[in-house]
Chain A
């Protein structure tokens, strides 16, 4: 049981690191500009018009 918990704990740290790597990869691919472009214009779908 305790070994399982130990593994879970490290799984969390490993996944957080993997998430960080994915984020950096996405930023290098230029995905941040898609997010930015969408977020700085009023989103018609969000507000229920589009």
Chain B
């Protein structure tokens, strides 16, 4: 009997393994950062693919990066002398957001994967939530408006060019993917480091330590790209649903969610990164996701077709 239970438990544990998702994250990170010569020579890729943005936060100054970071690109165009607004990049973000929302955060962002892995490091007291957690999550919208849009737009030099202030003062992905490898591989860069490099590395270290204790602190509180995609979660074509007929209100999905969402209350919460943990943990299979219309996916066809 005991053996049967153990088997059952291990099956359950196996069921909610996050490794299938991590494999996709790894694969995507490898494909989009596969310029090996960059890592060997301390340079970056300069080919045509850099015209295109990747959906996740992936620094274009990473030696392996094949595409452009959408947040860096947004600031580059907004801060340029010739353009006031970045239609190409904002259009790309609206397109991706409207199709899949924060699915990008769950599956297609290397910095999200980095935090996922850090959170697997054992620590005696992991913090699921704290007082002020919900309020602090609004900070990412402030960062988006202030550092990504307003400062590059209005704080310009005499030539009318604005710096990418988010990249310059905050982004730990840039430090991790670009700053550290390039400074290690390139002696010229090593000679140029100053207080800004120290500040950005301190921020990165703080983020690393926090990620061990709190699940994805950068995504929850600071990331402007997550902030953009979060706005689209409630209306994106790919979406989550809870079949009210199957749901027994056991709360297993909400307990499993590391982003502190409750799919029963809101299956498309702006904070949901569409990791699928809730789906796997639901004992009755009431949580589902997909592109199909309500009518095809749940049993209340008639109702949904109204």
Give 13 A-B contacts (CB < 8 Å), ordered by A residue: A6-B304, A8-B239, A12-B235, A13-B237, A16-B94, A19-B98, A20-B91, A21-B91, A39-B68, A39-B76, A40-B44, A47-B175, A48-B179
Interface string of B146-182 (1 = CB under 8 A from A): 0000000000000000011001100100110011001
Is A2 within 8 A of B89, CB to CB?
no
Which chain B residue lies CB-closest to A8? Answer: B235
Is B44 within 8 A of A42, CB to CB?
yes
Bound form: Cα–Cα A3–B305 in Å:
8
Whether A16 touches B95, Cβ cut-off 8 Å, given contacts A35-B53, A35-B77, A39-B50, is yes
CB proximity of A40 to chain B, nearest CB, Å: 4
Give the size category of A's interface with B. 35 or more
Is A22 within 8 A of B87, CB to CB?
yes
With a CB–CB cut-off of 8 A, which chain A residues contact B96?
Answer: 19
Interface string of A1-15 (1 = CB under 8 A from B): 011011011011111
With a CB–CB cut-off of 8 A, which chain A residues contact B89?
Answer: 26, 31, 35
How would you classify the secondary structure of chain A's contact residues: helix, strand, loop or mixed? Answer: helix
Whether A27 touches B88, Cβ cut-off 8 Å, given contacts A35-B53, A38-B76, A47-B179, is yes
**B109, CB-defined interface residue at 8 Å:** no
Partner of A38, one of B72, B168, B234: B72
Partner of A25, one of B91, B98, B192, B234: B91
CB proximity of B202 to chain A, nearest CB, Å: 10
**B136, CB-defined interface residue at 8 Å:** no
Partner of A43, one of B164, B192, B239: B164
**B6, CB-defined interface residue at 8 Å:** no
Partner of B87, one of A6, A29, A45: A29
With a CB–CB cut-off of 8 A, which chain A residues contact B90?
Answer: 19, 22, 26
Bound form: Cα–Cα A43–B179 in Å:
9
Bound form: Cα–Cα A13–B189 in Å:
45
Bound form: Cα–Cα A5–B89 in Å:
28
Bound form: Cα–Cα A28–B101 in Å:
26
Bound form: Cα–Cα A14–B89 in Å:
18
CB proximity of A20 to chain B, nearest CB, Å: 5
Partner of A2, one of B67, B234, B303: B303
**B205, CB-defined interface residue at 8 Å:** no
**B26, CB-defined interface residue at 8 Å:** no
CB proximity of A7 to chain B, nearest CB, Å: 9
Bound form: Cα–Cα A23–B51 in Å:
12
Residues 41-75 of B at the A interface (beta carbon under 8 Å): 44-46, 50-51, 53, 59-61, 67-69, 72-73
Which chain B residue lies CB-closest to A27? Answer: B88
Which chain A residue lies CB-closest to B199? Answer: A48
Which chain B residue lies CB-closest to A37? Answer: B76
**B196, CB-defined interface residue at 8 Å:** yes
Is B73 within 8 A of A39, CB to CB?
yes
Q: Please tell me which stretch of B17-25, B78-86, B122-130 contacts chain A, meaning at least 4 of its Cβ atoms lie within 8 angstroms of it.
A: B78-86
Is B60 within 8 A of A46, CB to CB?
yes
Is B168 within 8 A of A45, CB to CB?
yes
With a CB–CB cut-off of 8 A, which chain A residues contact B196?
Answer: 48-50
**B207, CB-defined interface residue at 8 Å:** no
Is A23 within 8 A of B178, CB to CB?
no
With a CB–CB cut-off of 8 A, which chain B residues contact A36?
Answer: 50-51, 68
